[in-house]
Amino acid sequence: MKIAKDVVVTLRQRVTDLDGAVVDDGAEPVSYLHGGYHDIFDRIESALDGKSVGDEVSVRLEPKEAFGEYDPEQVVVAGFDQFTNPPQPGEMVERGGELYRVVELRDDSVVLDGNHPFAGLHLIFQGEVQDVRPARAEEITRIAKSVTVEISRLRAIKMATIHLLGVPIVLTIVAGTLSEAMGGGLLLYLALMFVVAVLLSALWSGGRYVREAFRGGEVLRIDVKGLYWRDFGSPVTWEEIAKVQFTDGMGEDAWYSVALTDGRNFKLDASILSVETSQVSWLLAHYLPATKLKGI
Query: How does pLDDT run across 27-65, given as a tens digit for each residue?
Result: 899 999 999 999 999 999 999 999 999 999 999 999 999
Average pLDDT on 106-125 reads 93
Q: What is the pLDDT of residues 63-72, one digit of tens each?
A: 999 999 999 9
pLDDT digits (tens, 9 = 90+) for 135-190: 998 899 889 899 999 999 888 898 889 888 887 888 888 877 877 777 667 777 78
Q: State the fold for domain 72-113.
A: Thrombin, subunit H (2.40.10)
pLDDT at 251 over 70: no
Over the stretch 192-238, which tens digit does the pLDDT of each residue have? 888 888 888 888 888 888 888 888 889 999 999 999 999 998 999 99
69, 120 contact by CB (below 8 A): yes
pLDDT at 134: 96
pLDDT tens across 277-286, in order?
Answer: 889 999 999 9
Identify the CATH class of 7-65+123-134: alpha beta
pLDDT at 94: 84
CATH topology of domain 218-294: PH-domain like (2.30.29)
* Main-chain phi, psi angles of 3, to 5 degrees: -75, 125
CA distance 116 to 88: 17
String of DSSP letters for 99-160: EEEEEEE-SSEEEEE-S-TTTT--EEEEEEEEEEEEPPHHHHHHHHT-EEEEB-HHHHHHHH
Burial (CB count <10 Å: 0-12, 13-18, 19+), residue 45: buried
pLDDT computed for residue 155 by the predictor:
86
104 strand-pairing partners: 111
